[in-house]
Amino acid sequence: MAKRAVYPGMFDPVHNGHVDVIQRSLRIFDELIVAVVANPSKEPLFTVKERLEMIDEATSGLNNFRIVSFDGLLIDLVARERADCIVRGIRAVSDFEYEFQMALMNRKLKDTVETVFLMPHEKYTYISSRLIKEVAGFGTSVAGLVPPIVEKRLAEKFPPR
């Protein structure tokens, strides 16, 4: 039986740490579903459609995964997709505290689903979508931190000064 995992997130925008976690997940699982949260209350910079497009381009050439969007409870998506596991990226201890609580809640809601925490490569541990947007908002280059498509889209949103 194939092992299927869901990697959820806002991905606003996707950055190289996210791509690294996707690549690491594909070495572990037979199939990965990258799930973009459609949560307008967080006021994302990019629409769901834009985030899906950027992830698609940033991961071209990778196999055995697909990209979906969802709203509502993650555990409901996991059940619909018949996944065995949730993948979460952890950069620091502060990430772990929140993610640990979420993993326990998801286990309470559906005890057959496991959560796996993956660390991105060390060179990406300080990257977050929030920091990427903040730096780009000042017209500073984020080259090397995000896939080229994201760099281009950020430059359209925040023209260089």
Active site residue 18: yes
Q: Residue 139: helix, strand or coil by DSSP?
A: coil
152 in catalytic set: no
Annotated active-site residue 129? The verdict is yes
Q: Does 25 participate in catalysis according to the annotation? A: no
DSSP string, 48-106: HHHHHHHHHHHTTT--SEEEEEE-S-HHHHHHHTT-SEEEEE--SHHHHHHHHHHHHHH
Inter-residue contact 17 to 127 (CB < 8 Å) = yes
> Which of the residues 18, 24, 51, 133 is marked catalytic?
18
3-state secondary structure of 117: strand
- Return the structure tokens found at 95: 């990430």
Catalytic residue chosen out of the listed positions 25, 88, 129, 133: 129
Q: What is the C-alpha to C-alpha distance for residues 63 and 76, in angstroms, rounded to an integer? A: 24
Cβ contacts of 8 within 8 Å, gap of 6 or more: 35, 36, 37, 70, 74, 77, 86, 88
- The residue from 42, 123, 130, 152 that is catalytic is 42
Q: What residues act catalytically? A: 18, 42, 91, 129
